[in-house]
């Protein structure tokens, strides 16, 4: 189980890196095509599928250095073929004055092993006050 938990942490870090780097190929490879989500951009609606997410990747990565950290990631294996991971995502970047700032959001992400490969199948993101 511990190895599986580390696998989920590693895959999730790759996913978060792909988002800040606007690396659509890496993101799409890690996700199932039927990915569902609740996130602030969806204005309270459950969104299914990849096109909604692609819109943001097509805008490109933001300029300047960026670093993503999962703070206190907690993995729960749901048998051998499903897992959820919860953490606070910290994103370090520069603001308009080139001063470092840290954005923070709560995330829960669900992974499922489909045909022998872990795929990201659902997430829920909530901004922290």
Q: Which is nearer to ligand GLY, 53 or 119 (CB)?
A: 53
Residue nearer to ligand GLY on the CB measure, 118 or 123 = 123
Per CB under 6 A, 89 contacts ligand GLY = no
Under 8 Å CB-to-CB from 33, ≥6 apart: which residues? 49, 50
Is residue 123 part of the contact set for ligand GLY (CB under 6 A)?
yes
Q: How far is the CB of 82 from ligand GLY (least distance, A)?
A: 18
Question: If binding is defined by CB under 6 A, does position 32 make contact with ligand GLY?
Answer: no
By CB under 6 A, tell whether 118 contacts ligand GLY. no
Report the distance separating Cα 104 and Cα 123, nearest Å.
16
**Binding ligand GLY by CB under 6 A: which of 39, 73, 83, 110?**
39
Q: 57: which residues sit within 8 A by CB, 6+ positions away?
A: 19, 22, 23, 24, 27
Sheet of 31-38, strand order? 47-48, 31-38, 117-127, 100-114, 82-94, 67-77
**Binder among 8, 11, 19, 70 for ligand GLY (CB under 6 A):** 19
Judged by the rule CB under 6 A, the positions of this chain that interact with ligand GLY are: 19, 39, 53, 123
């Amino acid at each position: 189980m511990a190895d599986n938990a580390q696998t989920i942490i590693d895959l999730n870090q790759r996913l978060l890196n792909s988002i800040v780097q606007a690396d659509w190929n890496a993101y799409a490879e890690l996700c199932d095509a039927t990915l569902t989500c609740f996130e602030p951009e969806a204005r309270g609606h459950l969104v299914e599928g990849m096109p909604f997410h692609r819109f943001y990747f097509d805008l490109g990565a933001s300029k300047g250095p960026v670093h993503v950290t999962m703070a206190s990631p907690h993995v729960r294996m749901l048998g051998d073929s499903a897992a959820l991971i919860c953490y606070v995502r910290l994103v370090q970047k520069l603001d308009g004055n080139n001063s470092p700032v840290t954005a923070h959001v709560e995330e829960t992400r669900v992974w499922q092993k489909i045909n022998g490969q872990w795929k990201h199948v659902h997430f829920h993101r909530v901004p922290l006050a």
